[in-house]
Amino acid sequence: MRTLALLLMTLTALIPVRAQAGETIVIFGNDAKPPKSWMEEGRPRGILVDMLHEIETRTGLAFDIRLMPWKRAYMNALEDRGGIFGLSKNRERRTLFDFSEVMYVDEMRLVVLKGQEFPFRSVEDLKGKIVGVTRGASYGDEFDRAKNRIFIPSEDSGAVRRLRMLLAGRIDAALMGPGPDSVRFTVIRDKTLMENRELFVILDPPFVRDDNYIGFTRFMRQSETLEKINAALRDMRRDGTIARIEARY
């Protein structure tokens, strides 16, 4: 009986507790995805960061926002160390995470060098090309199926490195988001990219419009937290707060 009791105590200790009022919720995100999220002078910045702060104000939740390379952020979330924002859905993640309502729509665009443009209408047009992408990223099931089957992914930890690799001719295209603003925000943060900014061409149409969510692993049992987040997101969308936050960037 004592052995059974100890086993039950151990299992109980391993089960995460639902967030309580006033409790700080750790939430991970990408540190190199301007204007969505990035680090500046040691502080998290960006559209999604501002949205999280607004959710805090409306719900009483408190977030400990930790930005880092995306793959590390995702692994931390998978290991139940906190939630994650800027998360796309795919088949695997639907089995692992509970998701909020849509937080943001990330328009992913292909960037090439001037003089090396090519017609782009579907992922099939990337056949055989080397495409720079964020390490560990997914932009939906079509993207996942196309990797290594249609195009060759070149993974990196940040947008500056991706555009530098494009400039050096090491990749054929760089996948950037959200929208043209991501290219502008990246270029102004690097002297070499600024000096060559006229060489970057953004292809039409967008590669994909990717819905982003806040997610917690199902093991963390954060349904009540997600209900509060969803109510805040609906209000923020309805009263124009999200549009005003986006306009700041």
Say whether 107-209 and 23-105+210-247 share the same fold: yes
- Assign domain 107-209 to its CATH architecture: 3-Layer(aba) Sandwich (3.40)
Kindly state the average pLDDT of the residues 218-230: 97
Q: Confirm if 163 and 171 have CB atoms less than 8 A apart.
A: no
What's the whole-number average pLDDT of the chain? 91
Instruction: Say how far residue 240 (Cα) sits from the centre of its chain.
Output: 22
pTM for the complete prediction? Answer: 0.82
pLDDT of residue 157: 86
Residue 22 banded pLDDT, cuts 50, 70, 90: low
> Vertex 176, ends 215 and 28: CA angle to 5°?
25
Q: Residue 140 — pLDDT band, cuts 50, 70, 90?
A: confident
Residue 31, SS3? coil
| 23-105+210-247 fold | D-Maltodextrin-Binding Protein; domain 2 (3.40.190)
Q: Where are the domains of the chain?
A: 23-105+210-247, 107-209
Q: 3-state DSSP call for residue 5? A: helix
Q: Are 144 and 210 a contacting pair, CB within 8 Å?
A: no
Structure token digits, residue 151: 């195009």
Which residues, in sequence order, are CB contacts of 36 under 8 Å at separation 6+? Answer: 30, 46, 47, 48, 86, 104, 106, 177, 178, 182, 212
Say yes or no to pLDDT of 69 above 60. yes
Using DSSP's 3-state secondary structure scheme, residue 122 falls into coil
- How long is the chain? 249
Q: What share of the chain has pLDDT > 90, as a percent?
A: 86
Helix (H) and strand (E) counts in the chain: 10, 13
